[in-house]
């Protein structure tokens, strides 16, 4: 099963290496990891998507807690949260196919952000399902490159995880 | 007061109560060693940085205080690595100050530069690199705090040379009870402990399983009181051998791969296993599917990450054992377990530890039996890694906590001699014995020079079987007796090697000379190395093959 962990860490050089190193040396699979600063300048947030059964995730969370620079770990998998990812697709598109692709892009409320004679670049944001759907819709044209940010997530409601 | 970074390191160490440092100088460390010159801190110059790390570890294990070591940058720091990993696996508090090239040279593959933070991150509790001289004192204070609280472990502080040279106004760092992301918890949920107490009172075949955590928590008295109150059988891990007096009638011996028959059968047949300060290491559990498969498992430990890591537990109590064990004693009542004891006594009678006492050659076990007669559980016993380590755990009486020092988790050959040096420095009044093999002693034999320089009265018994005994045992059992690279040729004369280093060397070839040699070694003032020629085909018995069920012992 896929779990989404929202992890607050000290904003300091080397923290990412420490977290990533812990995952790799204990054999846990990171599906995606996104990191960025928060509204507090000395604290960063990592959103980590990890694959594993409940026992594995229990261990992942405990091992994360053991890292001194990790301040808080929340498993938000079963909470009401908004999860988003940004993806860039480079798609084969000669001028005759552009209209069709633009239609698809409109349906998914995505954007075309670059264009040349043979290809165009699509920027899409959304949850897993939507991004899978747009990828499927674009693949018949030939996707030459995909870049993903990894998922970021925020729990709905008034409470802040930073508190 | 305006002090250099190096002077701040020394002042902060003094404030932390560290009076002894083990180390080895070098280019980047020169400012630090200059500040050390004439200071009140005692510096022990080992002959290799690995020796410094193990000696600081031995010092920490015997005293319970954080051991401190210094090294220079690059190879100096990387030579500490095995020692740091050893301390990490056995939860030993260590503060390692590694000097680093200057900030200007860092990241440029400069002379004697190594990424110490990257290298040591997976084998430390935490590590720091100091960027700002005004953070130096606070960082060292943090290092001591992290190393010696909660579940102890090694902490590395990497200090670039320019930080050591720069000067700043020194202020003693403010005390703190926790750090932003680190707050050791000693007390847990009372109800978690009372639930275990209830199960323990009702169990028909209970078993108390003690590990190194009991020793670290200083909870031997509590473990003994609990065991006596409810007359429960007790087993120990290798790291927990001094958690419970081995000569106590309720003690069934060590558990695991070379555990006693009764201990391993008790694990297999018990209905409630109460593990205290243990981590269910594979050398103890054998096959986890078959481990205590008829039992519910209760786990008491200070580290929440140990719960459910290797075996699934039914009861957990996270907290310091000196908090949880008294609660357990208070709430547990003796149950009716006479039939369980009858079964255990039968296992003990039918399968005692044994070896051939009539052999013409010196049996290695015999050396330990003879030594045990002399020291009677009073000495600090240090070991290296291999057959001799298992025989020491099996045949020596252990009654005092922190009196058995061994590399249990990492299994580091070469740990013994420097650890014995550290142990003897931590407790100059105690009798310290190192039991080692001819394989292990060669891995750090240069430290004989350190022992000789300091005239430390450590006694070293080398069970010399002219090769790697444990490797050969596995080759006999599992690899068709192919002795691939496990014999030492030519024969090594350790008595003469000892003399060359300035130690006393004794050689024992004949069985009849053994007792007198051990007695003589005890009477000599400086370090003594006794090269004892033992039977080179002896096996450590019983044995559970790796990954097998504990009940399937080879006897």
Q: Are B154 and B92 in the same domain?
A: yes
Residue A122, both tokens: 């699509």
**pLDDT over 90 (residue B255):** yes
**pLDDT over 70 (residue B371):** yes
HSE of B450, CA atoms in CB hemisphere, 13 A: 27
Boundaries of domain holding B267: 190-350
Q: Are B280 and B369 in the same domain?
A: no
Query: pLDDT at position A159, please?
Result: 81
CA distance B446 to B291: 42
Confidence of residue A115 (pLDDT cuts 50, 70, 90): very high
Which is nearest to B55 in space by CA: B436, B446, B458, B422? B422
Q: Are B400 and B480 in the same domain?
A: yes
Domain boundaries, chain A: 2-75, 82-152
Chain B residue with Cα closest to A21: B122
pLDDT tens per residue across span B397-440: 999 999 999 999 999 999 999 999 999 999 999 999 999 999 99
**pLDDT over 80 (residue A161):** no
Q: Answer whether B122 sits within 8 Å of A68, measured CB to CB.
A: no
Q: Are B132 and B8 in the same domain?
A: yes
Residue A147, both tokens: 């870049």
CA distance A39 to A25: 31
Query: Cα B367 from chain centroid?
Result: 22
Q: Answer whether A55 sits within 8 Å of B312, measured CB to CB.
A: yes
Q: Are B402 and B346 in the same domain?
A: no
What is the rounded average pLDDT for all residues in chain B? 97
Query: pLDDT at position B28, please?
Result: 98
Q: Answer whether B181 sits within 8 Å of A67, measured CB to CB.
A: yes
pLDDT tens per residue across span B48-96: 999 999 999 999 999 999 999 999 999 999 999 999 999 999 999 999 9
Q: Are B63 and B125 in the same domain?
A: yes
Helix, strand or coil for residue B114? Answer: coil
pLDDT tens per residue across span B22-54: 999 999 999 999 999 999 999 999 999 999 999
CA distance B127 to B81: 13
User: In Å, what is the CA distance from B56 to each residue of A127, B76, B139, B148, B379?
Assistant: 53, 15, 20, 13, 19
Q: What angle do CA A47, A51, A55 make, to 5 degrees?
A: 105
> CATH assignment of A82-152?
3.30.70.1150
Q: Are B205 and B252 in the same domain?
A: yes
| Residues of B forming the active site | 49, 111-112, 161, 470
Residue percentage of chain B with pLDDT more than 90: 98
Same fold, A2-75 and A82-152: yes
Give me the residue label for tokens 């409470």: A159
Which of 269-328 (B) contact A at CB < 8 A? 303-305, 307-309, 312
| Average pLDDT of the residues in B135-154 | 98
Confidence of residue B329 (pLDDT cuts 50, 70, 90): very high
For B126, phi then psi, to 5°, come to -165, 160
Query: pLDDT at position A13, please?
Result: 87
| Average pLDDT of the residues in B218-244 | 98
Cβ contacts from A onto B, under 8 A:
37
**pLDDT over 80 (residue A163):** no
| Average pLDDT of the residues in B322-339 | 97
| Average pLDDT of the residues in B227-255 | 98
Min Cα distance B56 → chain A (Å) is 23
pLDDT tens per residue across span B346-356: 999 999 999 99
A40 CB neighbours in chain B (<8 A) are none
| Dihedral, CA of residue B371, residue B372, residue B374 and residue B379, to nearest 10 | 100
Query: How large is the ipTM?
Result: 0.92
User: In Å, what is the CA distance from B264 to each residue of B131, B247, B249?
Assistant: 52, 18, 17
Q: What's the CATH number where B328 sits?
A: 3.40.50.1220
Whether residue B374 lies inside any domain: the answer is yes
**pLDDT over 90 (residue B333):** yes
CA distance A113 to B426: 69
Q: Are B307 and B387 in the same domain?
A: no
Chain A residue with Cα closest to B143: A68
3-state secondary structure chain A: CEEEEEEEEECCCCHHHHHHHHHHHCCCEEEEEEEEECCCCCEEEEEEEEECCHHHHHHHHHHHHHCCCEEEEEECCCCCEEEEEEEEEEEECCHHHHHHHHHHHHHCCCEEEEECCCEEEEEEEECHHHHHHHHHHHHHHCEEEEEECCCEEEECCCCCCCC
Question: Is the separation of the CB atoms in B215 and B240 below 8 Å?
Answer: yes
**How many separate domains does chain B show?**
3
**In terms of pLDDT, which residue wins out, B489 or B110?**
B110
Query: pLDDT at position B490, please?
Result: 86
| Average pLDDT of the residues in B524-546 | 97
Largest CA distance in chain B: 72
Whether residue B203 lies inside any domain: the answer is yes
Residues 6+ apart with CB under 8 A from B352: none
Alpha helices in B154-189 (DSSP H): 161-165
Query: pLDDT at position B1, please?
Result: 87
CA distance B177 to B193: 25
Domain A2-75 has CATH 3.30.70.260: yes
Confidence of residue B339 (pLDDT cuts 50, 70, 90): very high
Q: Are B371 and B518 in the same domain?
A: yes
- The β-bridge relationship of strands A111-115 and A119-126 is antiparallel
Q: Are B112 and B239 in the same domain?
A: no
Q: Are B235 and B130 in the same domain?
A: no
Mutate to test the interface with A, among B122, B288, B305, B308 (most CBs of A within 10 A): B305
Min Cα distance A50 → chain B (Å) is 17
Chain A residue with Cα closest to B178: A68
Whether residue B180 lies inside any domain: the answer is no
Chain A residue with Cα closest to B117: A14
Q: What's the CATH number where B513 sits?
A: 3.40.50.970
Helix, strand or coil for residue B112? Answer: coil
**pLDDT over 90 (residue A50):** yes
**pLDDT over 90 (residue A160):** no
Q: Are B33 and B77 in the same domain?
A: yes
Residue B277, both tokens: 């300060």
Whether residue B205 lies inside any domain: the answer is yes
Identify residues of A whose CB sits under 8 angstroms from chain B CBs.
Answer: 9-10, 14, 17-18, 21-22, 25, 55, 58-59, 62-63, 65-71
- Least CB-CB distance to B181: which of A55, A58, A68? A68
Q: Is the dihedral of CA B36, B41, B42, B47 positive or negative?
A: negative
Alpha helices in B99-132 (DSSP H): 116-120
Largest CA distance in chain A: 57
Query: pLDDT at position A162, please?
Result: 66
Question: Is the separation of the CB atoms in B69 and B80 below 8 Å?
Answer: yes
Give me the residue label for tokens 């130096």: B136
């Amino acid at each position: 099963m896929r779990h989404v962990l929202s992890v607050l860490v000290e904003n300091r050089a080397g923290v990412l290496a420490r977290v990533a190193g812990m995952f790799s040396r204990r054999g846990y699979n990171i599906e995606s990891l996104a990191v960025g600063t928060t509204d507090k300048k000395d604290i960063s947030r990592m959103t980590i998507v990890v694959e594993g059964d409940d026992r594995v995730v229990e261990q992942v969370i405990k091992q994360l807690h053991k890292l001194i620079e990790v301040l808080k770990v929340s498993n938000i998998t079963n909470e009401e949260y908004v999860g988003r990812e940004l993806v860039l697709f480079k798609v084969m598109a000669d001028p005759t196919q552009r209209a069709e692709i633009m239609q698809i892009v409109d349906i998914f409320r995505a954007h075309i952000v670059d264009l040349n004679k043979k290809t165009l670049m699509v920027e899409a944001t959304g949850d897993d399902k939507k991004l899978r759907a747009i990828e499927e819709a674009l693949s018949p044209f030939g996707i030459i490159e995909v870049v993903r940010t990894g998922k970021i997530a925020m729990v709905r409601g008034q409470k802040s995880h930073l508190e | 007061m305006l002090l250099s970074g190096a002077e701040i390191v020394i002042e902060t160490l003094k404030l932390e109560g560290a009076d002894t440092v083990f180390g080895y100088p070098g280019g980047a460390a020169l400012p630090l060693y200059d500040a050390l010159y004439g200071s009140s801190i005692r510096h022990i110059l080992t002959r290799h940085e690995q020796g410094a790390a193990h000696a600081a570890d031995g010092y920490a294990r015997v005293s319970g205080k954080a051991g401190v070591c210094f090294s220079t940058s690059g190879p100096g720091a990387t030579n500490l690595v095995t020692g740091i990993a050893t301390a990490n696996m056995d939860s030993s508090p260590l503060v390692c100050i590694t000097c680093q090239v200057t900030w200007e040279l860092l990241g440029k593959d400069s002379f004697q530069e190594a990424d110490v933070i990257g290298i040591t991150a997976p084998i430390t509790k935490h590590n720091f690199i100091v960027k700002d001289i005004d953070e130096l004192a606070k960082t060292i204070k943090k290092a001591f705090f992290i190393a010696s609280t909660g579940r102890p472990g090694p902490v590395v502080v990497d200090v670039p040379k320019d930080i050591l040279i720069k000067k700043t106004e020194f202020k003693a760092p403010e005390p703190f009870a926790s750090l932003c992301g680190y707050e050791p918890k000693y007390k847990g949920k009372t109800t978690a402990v009372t639930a275990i107490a209830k199960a323990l009172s009702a169990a028909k075949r209970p078993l108390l399983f003690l590990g190194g955590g009991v020793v670290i928590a200083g909870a031997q008295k509590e473990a003994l009181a609990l065991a006596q109150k409810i007359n429960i059988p007790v087993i120990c891990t290798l790291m927990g051998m001094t958690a419970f007096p081995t000569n106590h009638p309720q003690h069934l011996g060590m558990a695991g791969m070379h555990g006693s028959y009764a201990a391993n059968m008790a694990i297999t047949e018990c209905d409630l296993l109460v593990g205290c300060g243990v981590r269910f290491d594979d050398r103890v559990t054998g096959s986890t599917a078959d481990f205590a498969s008829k039992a519910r498992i209760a786990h008491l430990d200070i580290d929440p990450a140990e719960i459910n890591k290797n075996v699934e537990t039914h009861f957990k109590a996270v907290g310091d054992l000196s908090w949880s064990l008294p609660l357990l004693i208070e709430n547990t009542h003796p149950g009716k377990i006479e039939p369980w004891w009858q079964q255990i006594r039968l296992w003990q009678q039918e399968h005692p530890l044994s070896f051939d006492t009539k052999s013409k050659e010196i049996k290695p076990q015999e050396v330990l039996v003879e030594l045990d007669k002399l020291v009677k559980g009073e000495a600090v016993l240090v070991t290296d890694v291999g057959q001799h380590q298992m025989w020491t755990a099996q045949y020596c009486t252990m009654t005092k906590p922190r009196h058995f020092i061994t590399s249990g988790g990492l299994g580091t050959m070469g740990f013994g001699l420097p650890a014995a040096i550290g142990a003897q420095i931590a407790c100059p009044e105690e009798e310290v014995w190192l039991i080692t093999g001819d394989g292990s002693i060669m891995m750090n034999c240069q430290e004989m020079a350190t022992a000789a320089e300091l005239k430390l009265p450590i006694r070293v018994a080398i069970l010399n079987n002219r090769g790697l005994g444990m490797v050969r045992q596995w080759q006999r059992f599992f690899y068709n007796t192919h002795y691939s690279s496990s014999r030492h040729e030519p024969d090594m004369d350790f008595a003469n090697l000892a003399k060359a280093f300035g130690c006393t060397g004794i050689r024992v070839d004949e069985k009849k000379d053994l007792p007198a040699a051990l007695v003589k070694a005890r009477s000599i003032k400086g370090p003594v190395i006794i090269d004892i020629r033992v039977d080179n085909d002896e096996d450590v018995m019983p044995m559970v093959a790796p990954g097998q069920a504990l009940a399937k012992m080879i006897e």
